[in-house]
Chains A and B, each alone.
Chain A
Amino acid sequence: MNKTLYISIMLVSVVLGMMVAFQFRTTGRVDSGVPIDRVQLLTTELKQIEKEYNTLLMEASDLESKLAQAEKGRPEASQAVQKELQKVRQIAGMTKLEGPGVEVTLAPIKKDDLQAGENLFTVRDEDLLRVVNELRAAGAEALSINGERIISTTEIRLAGTFIDVNLTRISPPYSVLAIGAPDQLESALLIKGGLVDTMRDWGVAVTVTKKESLTVPAYNHRINIEYAKPLKEEK
């Protein structure tokens, strides 16, 4: 009886002493006055932030891979855009073009008798317009008159005694350059009873020369688009 009592007292006291010592050490170790609640709060905060950090890391790697992919695709995309831009510039007439075609020169026939009146035998704006129209109808891809490129906003009209093209005064002899299928362009002009015949009747010296290669200059004025706004295309 006594023996078990002593053993139990011994056991209890050893356990108590150990616990006290443990507790003393644990609280004594961190006596910086940080309360346990604060520690828990900070721990949970730390855990949350770590979680956030991990998700952000994942997001960052994801975005980086996307960026790398985009980076990989960029040269191709920019090439495509460049190509498209080039095409559009060609169509718009912003680039010098070169190719086979015809050269049409129009000049007033020099008449000895000036009494007939000078105006009767000059090349009029309408003649040029007709030539341009005819060439376009025959499939000309690029046109120019005396170095002035014909684009979508180009006008050909009489201004006083001169003809304005692209608001630039040009003077005879007029030389119209057209890139396209040379035979087709030529035949469109030289067709019997066609434009050239008519103009010759009117007293305009017209020559049509097929060329293996001719260069049409670029449009060299500014284009201001002030009022027209593009509409979003409906899909």
Chain B
Amino acid sequence: MWAGILLALVGLTLGVIIGLNVPMVLPQVYAQYLGLGVLAALDSVFGGIRAALENHYDNRIFVTGFFSNILLAAGLAYIGTKLGVPLSTAAVVAFGVRLFQNLAIIRRHLLKK
């Protein structure tokens, strides 16, 4: 458990360092898609934490969910802009609601312990 958290923190810092030092800069146009991807990723992570706290964490579900959520969120937003429908708003709302729900459940689990 603690090793997992440690690893996650190490990975996070590593990722941040890599991200900050890569000379490539994303064009402004794609920023909103990446932002949605980040939101989806956070949602997945919190979902994973919640699942771990509820003791039915499945690694495969977590990893596939993580990546598919990112791609789906970004892709949906992209399609939305192409169609002229603000689908990114829908993604933001859905992920935001789930994020807060997951956070609330995690908080309750942590408080129960």
Contact = CB atoms under 8 A, between A and B. Distances in A.
A26 B35 CA distance: 10
Contact of B8 (A13, A22, A27, A29): A13
B29 interface: yes
A6 B7 contact: yes
Question: Is chain B's binding surface mostly helix, strand, loop or mixed?
Answer: helix
Interface string A1-13: 0001110111111
Given A12-B62, A22-B19, A23-B35, A40 B14 contact: no
Given A4-B59, A18-B18, A21-B16, A11 B35 contact: no
Question: Is chain A's binding surface mostly helix, strand, loop or mixed?
Answer: helix
Contacts of B32: 36
Chain B interface residue number, banded: 35 or more
Contacts of A36: 28-29, 31-32
Chain A interface residue number, banded: 20 to 34
Interface in B1-43: 3-4, 7-20, 22, 25-26, 28-32, 34-35, 37-38, 41-42
Interface of B: 3-4, 7-20, 22, 25-26, 28-32, 34-35, 37-38, 41-42, 44-45, 48, 59, 62-63, 66, 70
Interface of A: 4-6, 8-27, 29-30, 36, 39-40, 43
